[in-house]
Amino acid sequence: MKTEFTRKLLKWNAKANNRSFPWKKEKDPYKIWLSEIILQQTKVEQGLDYYNKYIKAFPTIHHLAKASEQKIFKLWEGLGYYRRCKNLISTAKLISKDFDGNFPDTYENIKSLKGVGPYTASAIASFAYNLPHAVVDGNVLRVLSRYFGISAPIDTTEGKKIYNQLAEALLYIKDPGLYNQAIMDFGAVICKPKAPLCNECVQKTECEAFRNNWVDQLPVKKKAVKQNTRWFNYFIIEYKSKVYIRKRTSKDIWSDLFEFALKETDRPLELDPASLTKYAEELVGTCRLTISDISREYRQKLTHQTILGRFVTFNIHEHSLLLNDYNAVSMKELKKFPFPSLINTFLNEV
């Protein structure tokens, strides 16, 4: 059954797989690594534009290593999961400086890089160096679970062990990179999460899920993602035609991105002028200020939390010493700084 699965998969890949992206059949480990980091927790269609922008701006790992962090983050803007971008910068500098731009060529050394786990290491090792390591991403898990009728949850230690062992057993040793790309493509275009193309599937006669009408029930996840809601109240402080922004430096979301003065609360703020002025004075100190605008409520949904935001614009009529750790920039200059999508959505409407 395992041999038949691999044989049919490779046949489908050779005759019917028309899925095309610039990193497919790529052998440059830098470009493969870049594509894999971008595509972590990102849909391929969205990641494609970012990949092309990064390759154009940083054609080699030396270019990426020498670039300013602000420029790198600005290009990443809107892609989310910004820790990936921080890991990208750290790894580029490491390889450029310590390894003269030569990417590691063994699975273990690749996996030791920041932000590179077993899946990404397997992808780089097999695509760039043709090493026999099976990739196990969401597409692969779905295909294996359905084809073999496996009900073990994909997000448990036991389940991961089962799927990893099975993936390695199915691997086409003569060309692991070809096989890995084929099974990921198969999961993306045929064995899709919703409305899979079972009637067109070359594996359907042996597929346990198809034969037993389990397709909609597999794969199984055990852990429920706990959602949290946070209220971000931004105060745009204007003084002499400039506004104040600062970089987020905590280990919280959006680290290294810029923002306006922020007050986070556990519920929406009261929007009466007296209450808003009181909150603003906590940030800028007691000074003459007037409210010039109160925005609508904005929403950004992240993996484990939802951010609700509102922007209140104040004009202050004297300089505030409490804003010394902020950058005072013109509205035009804001375009140079990387912001979270929530703030960019607001700025695009102003």
Whether 206 contacts 7, CB under 8 Å: no
φ/ψ (deg, to 5) at 104: -55, 145
Per-position DSSP letters for 238-280, written without gaps between them: EETTEEEEEE--SSSTTTT-EE-EEEEESSPPP-SHHHHHHHH
Q: Which residue has the tokens 């005072």?
A: 328
Q: Which residues contact 348 (CB under 8 A, 6 or more apart)?
A: none
Please report, to the nearest 10 degrees, the dihedral formed by the alpha carbons of residues 3, 4, 5, 11 taken in order. Answer: 110
What span, in angstroms and rounded, lies between the C-alpha atoms of 17 and 190?
Answer: 10
Distance between first and last Cα of the chain = 60
Question: Which residues are designated catalytic?
Answer: 36
